[in-house]
Amino acid sequence: MLNSDLIVGCVCAVLTGLVYFLTRDLSRLGGVFVNYVLVALGFLSLLLLIKGLVRPERIKFFESAVERNNVLVGLIILALYLIVMPKAGFLPASYVFYGVFNLYLAEEKLKTRNILQSLGLSAVVVTVFYFIFHHLLEVPLPPGSWFES
């Protein structure tokens, strides 16, 4: 069980210190609001830290190891998609992401039918939105640095 008050209080106190360090050279007009907010944030962080020591609120972060692993793998897949997209291009990266994520969330074992279903859906959903955003709304989606030359 984690002491949520202590964790939040510490993080906010560190954030306050960090922002103070990064904004100490601001002009009077540019810094006046930041300074007021920092004072309030510092004070509230201190209060929460005291509460965390006196009457802490305890929470269980993950219900199970499975939940933790699921979330971590999901985040890794999403992060990989974001890393690959500017290089491979929006369309190829999105096709792969949608298909892989769909298969990852499927409860059944990997079968040819599942894979084909995922690939088919991926092709339809991604292509439709690509068409709307890129061709109708003219949003310049990443073409992919690998293919630019």
Partner 1 sequence: MLEAAWSGFVQVFYPGNFLSLFFGVFMGIVFGALPGLTATMGLALLIPFTFTMTPAAGLIMLGGIYVGAMYGDAIPAVLINTPGTPAAIATTFDGFPLAQKGMAQHGLVAAAVASAYGSLVANIVLATAAPPLAEASLKFGPPEYFWLGIFGLTIIATLSSGTMLKGFLAGGVGLLLSTVGMAPIGGDVRLTLGFPELQAGLELIVALIGFFCLPEILSSVIGQRRAAYASQPVKPTLSVIGEVIVSLLKKPGLMLRSSAIGTIIGFAPGAGGNIASMVSYNEACRWDKHPEEFGKGTIKGVAASEAANSSMAPGSLIPLLTLGIPGSPPAAVILGALMLHGMRPGHELFTTHAPITFAFIMSMLVAAFLVTIIGCFGSFVFARIINIPARFLAPAILFMTVLGSYSIRNNMLDVWIMFFFGVIGYVSHKLKFHPAPIVLGLILGPFVEEGLVQSILTGRAAGGVLGYMVFRPISLILIGLSLMSALWPLYASWRAGRRPPERCAEEGSDA
Q: Which is nearer to partner 1, 53 or 59 (CB)?
A: 59
Give the length of the chain.
149
Interface residues with partner 1 (CB under 8 A) are 2, 4-5, 7-8, 12, 15, 19, 22-23, 26-34, 36-38, 40-41, 44-45, 47-48, 51, 57, 59, 61-63, 67, 70-71, 74-75, 78-79, 81-82, 85-86, 94, 97-98, 101-102, 105-107, 121-122, 125-126, 129, 133, 137, 139-142
**Residue written as token pair 């006196």:** 54
| Smallest separation, CB 63 to partner 1 (Å) | 8
CA angle at 36 for the pair 32 and 40, rounded to the nearest 5°: 170
| Smallest separation, CB 149 to partner 1 (Å) | 20
Query: For residues 123 and 96, what is the distance between their CA atoms, to the nearest angstrom?
Result: 9
Backbone angles phi, psi at 25, to 5 degrees: -95, 10
| Smallest separation, CB 92 to partner 1 (Å) | 13
Q: Which is nearer to partner 1, 48 or 112 (CB)?
A: 48
Q: Which is nearer to partner 1, 57 or 115 (CB)?
A: 57
Spell out the SS3 assignment of 8-60: HHHHHHHHHHHHHHHCCCCCHHHHHHHHHHHHHHHHHHHHHHHHHHHCCCEEC
Q: Tell me the three state secondary structure of residue 123.
A: helix
| Smallest separation, CB 111 to partner 1 (Å) | 14
